[in-house]
Amino acid sequence: MVKRQLPNPQELLQLMQFKAPTLNPTDRRLEKALTIADLRHIAKRRTPRAPFDYTDGSAEGEISLARARQAFQDVEFHPSILRNVPEVDTSTTVLGGTSSMPFGIAPTGFTRMMQTEGEIAGSGAAGAAGIPFTLSTLGTTSIEDVKAANPRGRNWFQLYVLRDRSISYGLVERAAKAGFDTLFFTVDTPVAGARLRDKRAGFSIPPQLTLSTVINAIPRPAWWINFLTTPTLEFASLTSTGGTVGDLIEQAMDPTISFEDLETIRAMWPGKIMVKGVQTLEDAKLLADTGIDGIVLSNHGGRQLDRAPIPFHLLPSVVQELGADMEIHLDTGIMNGADIVASVALGADFALVGRAYLYGLMAGGRRGVDKTISILRSEIERTMKLLEVATVDELNPSHVTQLSRLQPIAKPVADAAEAMTAGKPKTVPANRPARTAKA
């Protein structure tokens, strides 16, 4: 039998130390968020359907995004033991400068539509955390205002080569003058992907008041109050070019973009230049001789070509071939700091985070972005400590195994074509019987 006694009043007092309530509702919500998925849940409750779906969704059946996220889940870590690693250093060198962590904020368009603080919140939070911020050509804060919000931090600029090339050249000159140190030349948007969620939600820029949006707005008054009482939503760096928002979107997609455009921009830009949107090893090899500083393996967050290659799967082969020649960055599907650690272990120099940043922004403005960065930082630090590596440079392929779900089941068509050119018979894939001649 357990011996029982009357409760000790002093022990009861120690147990009755209640936490002071958090009075600010935004802080109260963010305190409960432990993961990026938690921030997404808060964002969905507070943001109208159309802008939330624009952020959350991807192209057509959203297969590319689902596969990218699954690829990070299909990772097996291999921790070391007894290495005496009480503290870790998450800092790294990227594109000639420093970053406190091996990730930065990716370029996102229409950002003030998700939450009115937009790029000001993103760039300010990035600067405070010591990581780079990337402004999109289709951003809703100007180049100059982002620089003012993040005057001592690292600012990067993502460039779409518009149909009117003079507009793109002007943006390049403005970004250079403002002190942006890196340009992301984007190559994966010859035309717009089919964003079916946007069409079903009645998405438009700027948002339009309809019966559906009014009903959807009733439980989300803060978003609409902010939207209606702050400056007009527009592509801030393109306001001097004229035309409607729709016209500017159409301008940004140009299927005639070519290597000649890359050469022209490379000659104009005084800083580092990356090509964003590389999706094959063959194209990565072609770019290695163009004088660029690196590439971003990306399928545009799954928002362009559905069923596109998974950047995380492509990473090891590109690093093996080109990792000594140029920097290799990666985006798409990152929802956890462990995803970033796995990418660096397999050879990525840096990762870019888009949706995770926007979930935080929608959940709580600047404080929400700070929370996103804090969550990712803690996940990176914890994963490194559990792997028992003290610095980012110590991460290597021995720490990670990519578990496979998707396996090619037939030789690529190019191989078959080469065989036919060489006069060899075309082989029949093992999973398909040979066709018999018709009578």
329 tagged catalytic: no
Alpha helices (H) along 117-177: 118-129, 143-149, 165-177
Cα-to-chain-centroid distance, residue 144 = 23
Residue 232 per-residue DSSP state: P
Which comes out higher in pLDDT, residue 1 or 62?
A: 62
Q: What is the pLDDT of residue 288?
A: 92
Q: What is the pLDDT of residue 244?
A: 53
111 — phi, psi (to 5°)?
-65, -35
Which domains are assigned to the chain?
Answer: 26-400 (3.20.20.70)
Q: How far apart are CA 213 and CA 202, in angstroms?
A: 9
Q: What is the pLDDT of residue 240?
A: 62
Residue carrying the six token digits 């290659």:
309
Q: What is the pLDDT of residue 82?
A: 92
Query: Mean of the pLDDT values across residues 139-158?
Result: 96
Lowest mean pLDDT among 196-210, 276-290, 312-326, 384-398: 196-210
Does residue 416 register a pLDDT over 60? no
Query: Mean of the pLDDT values across residues 372-385?
Result: 98
**E strand or H helix that includes residue 350:** strand 350-353
Helices 118-129 and 355-387: angle between axes, nearest 10 degrees: 20
Which comes out higher in pLDDT, residue 423 or 129?
A: 129
Peptide bond into 132 cis (omega under 30): no
Specify the amino acid at residue 109.
G
Work out the end-to-end distance of the chain between its first and last CA atoms, rounded to an integer number of angstroms: 91
Q: What is the pLDDT of residue 16?
A: 75
Q: Are 211 and 117 in contact (CB under 8 A)?
A: no
Q: Tokens in use for 78?
A: 């291999």
| Mean of per-residue pLDDT scores for the chain | 88
Q: What is the pLDDT of residue 191?
A: 83
Does residue 437 register a pLDDT over 50? no
Task: Summarize pLDDT for 101-146 with one digit per residue, the tens.
Answer: 999 999 999 999 999 999 999 999 999 999 999 999 999 999 999 9
Confidence of residue 14 (pLDDT cuts 50, 70, 90): confident
Q: Could you say which of 41, 78, 300, 399 is catalytic? A: 300
Does residue 245 register a pLDDT over 80? no
Does residue 420 register a pLDDT over 60? no
Lowest mean pLDDT among 41-50, 87-96, 145-154, 409-418: 409-418
Task: Summarize pLDDT for 286-333 with one digit per residue, the tens.
Answer: 999 898 999 999 999 999 999 999 999 999 999 999 999 999 999 999
Which comes out higher in pLDDT, residue 340 or 223?
A: 340
Confidence of residue 411 (pLDDT cuts 50, 70, 90): low
Q: What is the pLDDT of residue 210?
A: 73
Q: What region, left, alpha or beta, does residue 138 occupy, with left being phi > 0 and alpha being psi -120 to 50 degrees?
A: alpha
96 — phi, psi (to 5°)?
80, 5
Confidence of residue 424 (pLDDT cuts 50, 70, 90): very low
Q: How far apart are CA 435 and CA 439, in angstroms?
A: 12
Can you give the pTM of this predicted structure?
A: 0.87
Q: How many CB atoms lie within 10 A of CB 317?
A: 13
Q: Tokens in use for 3?
A: 């011996």
- Dihedral (C-alpha) 114, 115, 119, 120: value to the nearest 10 degrees? 180
Q: How far apart are CA 164 and CA 256, in angstroms?
A: 11
Q: What is the pLDDT of residue 168?
A: 93
Which comes out higher in pLDDT, residue 51 or 415?
A: 51
Q: How far apart are CA 52 and CA 334, in angstroms?
A: 18
Does residue 241 register a pLDDT over 80? no
Q: Are 342 and 316 in contact (CB under 8 A)?
A: no
Q: Is 156 helix (H, G, I), strand (E, B) or coil?
A: strand
Does residue 421 register a pLDDT over 50? no
